[in-house]
């Protein structure tokens, strides 16, 4: 970009247009979740170890932790989002105990993460093309919370859902991007 003023005044395509928060697409269970109302993007934090020496403090970076991703889904009649999400918990290995033997089964990481499929969060341009994509690696459902009911509320019914994952990868698909390396990957120095 040659001049910062072009960012706000250019009419030459979407390359200088800012990304918009309402243009996004979520993929879960290997299908686009068109009833997604909002979603948080992945965030990472680094823990800190402290070493005290005399009257000084020294800090050292620790482990990287990826924060949970929260989604709010509208609950349509068909497909019923509540039905789909609680079925996903069953498909991940959860069994409602009806016999004593059912108590010995539990959800494994393998079934929980494979059941979620590829979890993608894409930010789109005005033509529906992905500008950037987050991929949640080894993601699984951590919580499913249907909205409350009230005679005084005229809003759409929603479901809050939280996903946990081991790490996220970021791909910049912008038209002027000259690299295909994901965020946080080592760049070649040769």
Domain CATH number, residue 70? 2.30.110.20
Which neighbouring-strand residues pair with 31?
28
Would you say residue 161 lies in a domain?
yes
Count of domains for the chain? 1
Would you say residue 101 lies in a domain?
no
Would you say residue 21 lies in a domain?
yes
Would you say residue 109 lies in a domain?
no
Quick one: pLDDT at residue 177? 64
* 1, pLDDT greater than 50: no
User: Where in the sequence is the domain holding 121, given as residue range(s)?
Assistant: 16-84+117-172
Q: pTM of the predicted model, to two decimals?
A: 0.79
Would you say residue 131 lies in a domain?
yes
Q: Which comes out higher in pLDDT, residue 117 or 175?
A: 117
Would you say residue 134 lies in a domain?
yes
Would you say residue 23 lies in a domain?
yes
**Averaged pLDDT of the chain:** 85
Would you say residue 139 lies in a domain?
yes
């Amino acid at each position: 970009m040659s001049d910062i003023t072009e960012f706000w005044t250019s009419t030459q395509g979407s390359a200088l247009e800012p990304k918009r928060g309402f243009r996004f697409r979520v993929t879960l269970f290997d299908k686009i979740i068109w009833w997604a109302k909002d979603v948080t993007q992945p965030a990472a934090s680094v823990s800190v170890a402290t070493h005290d020496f005399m009257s000084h403090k020294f800090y050292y970076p620790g482990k990287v932790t990826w924060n949970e991703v929260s989604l709010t889904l509208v609950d349509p009649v068909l497909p019923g989002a509540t039905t789909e999400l609680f079925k996903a918990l069953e498909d991940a290995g959860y069994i409602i105990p009806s016999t004593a033997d059912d108590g010995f089964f539990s959800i494994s990481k393998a079934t929980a993460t494979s059941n979620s499929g590829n979890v993608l969060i894409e930010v789109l341009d005005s033509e529906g093309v992905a500008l950037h994509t987050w991929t949640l690696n080894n993601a699984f459902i951590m919580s499913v919370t249907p909205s409350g009911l009230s005679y005084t509320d005229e809003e759409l019914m929603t479901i809050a859902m939280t996903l946990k994952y081991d790490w996220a990868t970021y791909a910049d698909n912008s038209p002027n991007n000259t690299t295909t390396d994901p965020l946080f990957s080592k760049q070649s120095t040769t």
